[in-house]
Amino acid sequence: MQSGETPLIAAAKVERLGIARLLLAHGACPDPRDGHGMAAADYLPELAAHVEERRAQAAGGGAGTGQQRQQEEGVQWRRQVV
């Protein structure tokens, strides 16, 4: 990784949407920018929709706490992988 690059930006740069989504599900902030002024969604446009969805869920509260949602998403992710 380069200076100022977060794990989320690194995943986005190499187009690893699954890893980027997992990082977001576990609390990675999508807002930091790298040394070129670019955020993760700038490198991986498919990630932008997921980021907006996560923000809408956070703003709306949704069912359960953030930790409960993360656990539920982790279970869903494991089901998809297996």
Write 50-57 long-range contacts (CB < 8 A, 24+): 50/17, 50/20, 50/21, 50/24, 51/24, 54/24, 54/30
Cβ atoms of 77 and 26 closer than 8 Å = no
Would you say residue 46 has pLDDT above 70?
yes
pTM above threshold 0.75: no
4-25: pLDDT as tens digits: 799 999 999 999 999 999 999 8
